Amino acid sequence: MGQAKEKFVSMNAPQSLKIVRQAAPLRQQVVDGLRAAIISGRLAPGQRLTEPELTQMMDVSRTVIREALRQLETEGLIELIPNKGPVVRELSIDEAQDLYNIRAVLEGHATRLFVENADQALVKKLDEALQVVVAAYKEENSDKVLETKNQFYDVLYEGAGSGTLSEMLASLHARVWRWRALGLSHPNRSASRSKESMKNLRAILAAIKKADASTAERITREEAHKAAEEVMRLLAS
């Protein structure tokens, strides 16, 4: 990945990032808010993130901001540049391709484990999660599509029954989150890609119901590779 360009954009929109207190831990709320701002582009690649401004914008302590920035660094969304501090990481085509390749292998294995380990209650839960994804696609709401697809895959990982694999995939998904959001919301997104994705998810579920682990794993990998192809195309455009 090339070195991030210095780009200091004054963050004069505190209302857009200010935290509304909820039941979730405050640090997690800050992480979620900053992550969403990075994914949406409100915090642009290369943009410096200064603790004083973030503290004022989000109305939280500097300690909470530091903890949130450390989490986002772990997720690969920001990086620490000497003499500059934290900046939003630039999007790298090579890195995205590498992560999607890893995602295809791990998700494929998770699907195979789901077939081998999940009970009928989890199969039903996965079916219900897919119906929610279908509804989100019909609404043409990219944020909701991303959220509901995450829920679908969360059930898939739950049914796989491997805590280690779930942790690896959670970390991986955090790092590919921006690219997945790009693939779903970009104005040049291929209209056929959404239909293809839904077809693949339905085929995965059908193979799971037939206890066909090999087919389920193969289609899961194909879906990840197709998603990568779309993201690569959009990044290059």
Per-residue pLDDT tens for 16-38?
566 555 545 888 899 989 988 88
Query: What is the reported pLDDT for 5?
Result: 36
CATH number for the domain harbouring residue 143:
1.20.120.530
Query: What is the reported pLDDT for 199?
Result: 96
Is residue 69 domain-shared with residue 117, that is, in the same domain?
A: no
Is residue 99 domain-shared with residue 39, that is, in the same domain?
A: no
Mean pLDDT (the chain) is 86
CATH number for the domain harbouring residue 27:
1.10.10.10
Do 6 and 46 meet the contact criterion of CB atoms below 8 Å apart?
yes
Is residue 168 domain-shared with residue 223, that is, in the same domain?
A: yes
Judge if pTM exceeds 0.85.
Answer: no
Instruction: Point out the residues of the chain with pLDDT beneath 50.
Output: 1-15, 23
Per the structure, the complete domain to which residue 100 belongs is given by: 93-236
How many domains are contained in the chain?
Answer: 2
Tokens encoding 6: 């210095």
Is residue 64 domain-shared with residue 133, that is, in the same domain?
A: no
**Torsion-angle region of residue 76: left (phi > 0), alpha (psi -120 to 50) or beta?**
left
Do 74 and 172 meet the contact criterion of CB atoms below 8 Å apart?
no
Query: What is the reported pLDDT for 184?
Result: 79
Distance CA 90, CA 78 (A): 8
Query: What is the reported pLDDT for 49?
Result: 95
Is residue 18 domain-shared with residue 109, that is, in the same domain?
A: no
